[in-house]
């Protein structure tokens, strides 16, 4: 009785069978894809995790290095300022003591004090100028080093992103290839079933 079906019904039944086979083949493709890419995805996750750890370590090292240098610079500045302050205080005290002790010979002492103060001010101004110049040079050096460290860190990040993009392109190519193989397998099994 099945042989007496009209041709239209026979073609319709064959199309339904083909659709069912294609759907089961599509399920197999999904399973194959999960099997093949499951380990790769774990590998990518490990790579991302290592990359993130490496970047965080580099950033932490840069921050720590910068903080150490800034602390060192701050300590140097504070020491120099304290030294100059003590020097000025000491000189001022010496000057006051000299004025009190030599009050009787005011005229000659006043000239000597003025001369001494002039030399002291010149020396202090010179020390301040030299200190400012030294601080400026150290600041420039520190800023250059920080900039270089920043560029190194960004270079690492850029290289890592490029590596990840290259890996992603390879994964897309493999996915396309596997999809094409699955389609061919589905087509060949479809032809074998039809025969």
Q: How many domains does the chain have?
A: 1
Q: What pLDDT score does 3 carry? A: 47
- What's the mean per-residue pLDDT of the chain? 77
d(CA 165, CA 157): 12
Mean pLDDT across the stretch 18-41? 63
pLDDT value of position 166: 66
Is position 47 within any domain? no
- Residue 125 belongs to some domain of the structure: yes
| CB within 8 Å of 156: residues ≥ 6 apart | 54, 55, 58
Is 14 part of any domain? no
- Residue 24 scores a pLDDT above 80: no
Which carries the bigger pLDDT value, residue 22 or residue 135? 135
Quick check: 6 pLDDT over 80? no
Banded model confidence at residue 51, pLDDT cuts 50, 70, 90: very high
pLDDT class of 8 with cuts at 50, 70, 90: very low
Binned at pLDDT 50, 70 and 90, residue 45 comes out as confident
Residue 57 phi, psi dihedral angles, 5° rounding? -65, -45
Q: Is residue 74 part of a domain?
A: yes
Q: What domain range includes position 25? A: 19-42+59-184
Q: What is the pLDDT of residues 117-127, one digit of tens each?
A: 888 888 788 88
Is the pLDDT reported for residue 150 higher than 60?
Answer: yes
**Around Cβ 172, how many Cβ atoms within 10 Å?**
10
CA distance 138 to 77: 11
Residue 176 within a domain: yes
Q: Does 32 score more than 90 pLDDT?
A: no
SS3 label, residue 150: helix
Of the listed ranges 41-50, 124-133, 174-183, 186-195, the one predicted with least confidence: 186-195
DSSP string, 156-177: HHHHHHHHHHHHHHHHHHHHHH
The answer to whether residues 94 and 120 touch, using CB atoms and an 8 Å cutoff, is no
| pTM as predicted | 0.28
56-97, pLDDT tens digit by residue? 999 999 999 999 998 998 898 999 899 989 888 888 888 777
Q: Is residue 86 part of a domain?
A: yes
Q: What is the pLDDT of residue 23?
A: 46
In a domain, 156, yes or no: yes
- Assigned domain for 2 exists: no
């Amino acid at each position: 009785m099945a042989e007496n079906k009209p041709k239209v019904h026979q073609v319709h039944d064959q199309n339904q069978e083909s659709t069912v086979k294609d759907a089961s083949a599509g399920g197999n493709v999904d399973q194959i894809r999960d099997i093949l890419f499951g380990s790769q995805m774990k590998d990518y996750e490990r790579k991302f995790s290592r990359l993130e750890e490496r970047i965080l370590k580099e950033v932490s090292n840069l921050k720590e290095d910068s903080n150490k240098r800034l602390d060192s610079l701050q300590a140097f500045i504070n020491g120099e300022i304290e030294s100059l302050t003590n020097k000025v205080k000491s000189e001022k005290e010496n000057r006051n003591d000299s004025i009190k002790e030599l009050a009787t010979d005011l005229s000659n002492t006043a000239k000597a004090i003025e001369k001494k103060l002039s030399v002291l001010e010149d020396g202090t101004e010179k020390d301040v100028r030299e200190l400012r110049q030294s601080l400026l040079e150290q600041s420039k050096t520190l800023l250059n080093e920080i900039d270089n460290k920043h560029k190194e860190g960004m270079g690492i990040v850029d290289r890592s992103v490029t590596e990840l993009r290259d890996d992603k392109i390879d994964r897309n190519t493999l996915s396309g290839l596997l999809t094409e193989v699955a389609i061919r397998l589905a087509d060949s099994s479809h032809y074998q079933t039809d025969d």
